[in-house]
């Protein structure tokens, strides 16, 4: 496993082995990283009529997880308010297609981490789509952000073997807008429920 540096990253993009589009500015490239921008679509979690969100079943008796989110869209350069303790999902402005032997680790840019926002995620080799990002404002003050802002820092790593991203069913692949949790669609839930008879 090796970290991909700036010139190698540019070469991969030039040869279309790795796709990131659109790239608006040279300064999105760091020496060992690439900055992704906040897209225009958001999902924010809200308190619904139910006392909790049920991740254990996928049926019509309980309300869907998706019903616990409010969807909203902004234009580039418009503001979006992130309230304390409110999970928020958004997609990156950029569309990505990773080769089968490269994965990415995402972190917030330091300027946003210092404000109390947090994320932690990786992007699997072979993934395609806009990156879906889950953030939480752990501070006690709302934060106003602009869509299109450079927000995430990705580091790309090359691995020695190719992987087959689509060899198993993927719940969040090829999305271009944020998608709420599909925790209640995991195949093992039925097996676990069956064990509890």
Q: Show Cβ contacts of residue 77 under 8 Å, excluding neighbours closer than 6 positions.
A: 146, 147, 148
Please name the helix (run of DSSP H) or strand (run of DSSP E) that holds residue 194, with its range, or none: helix 188-195
How far is 42 from 81, CA to CA, in rounded Å? 11
Q: What is the DSSP string of 39-105?
A: EEEEEEE---SSSS---S--SSSSPPGGGGEEEEE--TT-EEEE-BT--EEEEEEEEEE--TTEEEE
In a structure prediction context, what are the per-residue pLDDT tens digits for the chain, which is 197 residues long?
A: 899 999 999 999 999 999 999 999 999 999 999 999 999 999 998 877 777 777 777 665 567 787 888 999 999 999 999 999 989 999 999 999 999 999 999 999 999 999 999 886 889 999 999 998 999 999 999 999 999 999 999 999 999 988 887 777 777 778 888 888 777 777 777 777 778 76
């Amino acid at each position: 496993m090796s970290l991909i540096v700036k010139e190698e990253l540019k070469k991969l993009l030039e040869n279309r082995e790795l796709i990131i589009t659109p790239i608006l500015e040279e300064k999105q490239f760091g020496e060992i990283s690439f900055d992704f921008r906040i897209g225009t679509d958001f999902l924010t979690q809200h308190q619904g009529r139910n006392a909790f969100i049920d991740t254990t079943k996928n049926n019509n008796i309980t309300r869907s997880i998706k019903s616990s989110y409010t969807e909203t869209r902004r234009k580039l350069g418009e503001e979006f308010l992130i309230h304390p303790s409110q999970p928020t999902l958004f997609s990156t402005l950029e569309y990505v297609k990773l080769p089968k032997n490269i994965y990415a680790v995402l972190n917030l840019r330091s300027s946003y981490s210092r404000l109390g926002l947090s994320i932690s995620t990786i992007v699997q080799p072979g993934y395609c789509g806009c990156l879906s990002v889950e953030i939480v404002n752990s501070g006690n003050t709302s934060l106003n952000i602009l869509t299109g802002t450079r927000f995430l820092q990705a580091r790309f790593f090359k691995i020695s073997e190719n992987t087959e991203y689509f060899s198993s069913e993927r719940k969040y692949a090829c999305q271009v807008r944020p998608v709420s949790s599909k925790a209640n669609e995991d195949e093992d839930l039925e097996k676990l429920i069956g064990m509890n008879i």
